[in-house]
Amino acid sequence: MKNTIRIASRQSELAMWQSNHIASLIKQKYPSISVEVIGFKTQGDIILNQPLAEIGGKGLFIKELEQALLDGHADLAVHSMKDVPMDLPEPFKIAAIPLREDSSDAFVSTKFNSLDELPKQAIVGTSSLRRQSLLYHQKPDLQINSLRGNLQTRLKKLDDGFFDAIVLASAGLIRLGLSERIKERLNTSTYIPAVGQGALGIEILKDNKELSEFLNFLNDHPTEISVNTERIISRSLAGSCTVPIGAHAMVIKDTINLKAFVASPDGNKIIFAEDSGSINQNTLIAESVSKQLIKNGAKEVLGI
């Protein structure tokens, strides 16, 4: 292996934390190797006045990082797996998916201790159609407004009084040492997370076999199985941030349980499905859940 490994990262504090976390794991394993984290500003970070669904979707958070790999400016890129499109372009691969952090959604408020405490017409901020549909389904009297920007920007808008509450990924708050801001971790059985939520992905050029083997130690097999199972659901239903889809797989010993849903953005129509079995049958389980969703009208709900 080369003596220096360069990691491409988004420039947000959370993204840099994630990349530095991977850098520290590499340095712990291989003390003689130098690791450098290089920050890049992506289109997803620049365009903040429009919902992601309107400007191109999740891929806007990774294109500049992938270009850095192609140009030879970086050796690997660290992503949140929920930002990684279902189908990567041909030159790239996900070489490792490390141990997952908490995958739940977090209810954050300066006024209320739980989602159930919110009064009618309370203003809730979220950037996610998935969260919007689930919130409307459970509490149709809420007023849900778009909220984009990095984690600190969202928290500041809450603290400045623009929202009664906001919903974020628990993982980001935990990673930045802000778990005290979480008033309630929403139950993942009811508030099914985004595909890959809480997991990181290490992306490299597919033909770099030496680097792929080098990074094997970072991979957590149960997390890899869980995330890839969730991604089958999303892929089968043309999943992106333009449609409300969630999937959550949990591996316990040799068993995997998968729950998924699709919904209309207003939460009026929502379809849930679930299956479980051996982790060796994870693809069949994902296909079973997809078929349940489609049989019960998922494609009509999503308009695909």
Active site residues: 83
Measure the CA–CA gap between 138 and 268, rounded to whole angstroms: 10
DSSP state of 2: -
Q: Which amino acid is at 175?
A: R
Cα 30 to Cα 1, 2, 4, 99, 276, distances in angstroms: 11, 12, 11, 19, 38
Which residues have a Cβ under 8 Å from the Cβ of 261 and sit 6 or more positions away?
134, 192, 245, 246, 247, 270, 271, 272, 273, 293
In the chain the first and final C-alpha atoms are separated, in Å, by: 46
Identify any residues that bridge with 168 across adjacent strands, giving them in sequence order: 106
Measure the CA–CA gap between 26 and 23, rounded to whole angstroms: 5
Which residues have a Cβ under 8 Å from the Cβ of 16 and sit 6 or more positions away?
9, 10, 37, 39
Measure the CA–CA gap between 194 and 100, rounded to whole angstroms: 13
Helix, strand, coil shares of the chain, percent, nearest 5, are 40, 25, 35
3-class secondary-structure state, position 243:
coil
Tokens of 26: 């590499």
In the block, tokens 């991977």 appear at 22
Helix (H) or strand (E) holding 278, with range, is strand 270-278
The upper half-sphere exposure of residue 205, i.e. CA atoms within 13 Å in the direction of its Cβ, equals 12
